[in-house]
Amino acid sequence: MADGHLLYVWSTSGYELREEPGDVPAVGAAIEQDGRTLHVTKVGPSPLPNDRRLCAYLTD
């Protein structure tokens, strides 16, 4: 798979998986998404099969 990381973004309508370039943000980091500031609560492996990227889980 490509370089970069994934974001698992929370919203009131559910979660959305997004691809992002660069390094995965650290737990506790504030990330701006869709005009909202969300925080990284967990960093783990990608939920996609055979994907070596890391995934940051975001909530408000």
Give the C-alpha distances (Å, rounded to integers) separating 3 from 12, 17, 53.
29, 16, 7
DSSP sequence for 1-60:
--SSEEEEEEETTEEEEEEESSSPPPTT-EEEETTEEEEEEEEEE-SSTT---EEEEEE-
Q: What is the pLDDT of residue 34?
A: 86
| Token pair belonging to 31 | 């990330």
* Low-confidence stretches of the chain (pLDDT beneath 70): 1-2
- Please give the Cα distance from 24 to 55 (Å, whole number): 7
Q: What is the pLDDT of residue 10?
A: 84
Q: What is the pLDDT of residue 16?
A: 93
| Token pair belonging to 48 | 């996609």
Say what the pTM is: 0.88
Q: What is the pLDDT of residue 2?
A: 57
Sorted by where each begins, the domain ranges of the chain are 5-59
Give the pLDDT confidence of 19-32 residue by residue, as tens digits.
999 999 999 999 99
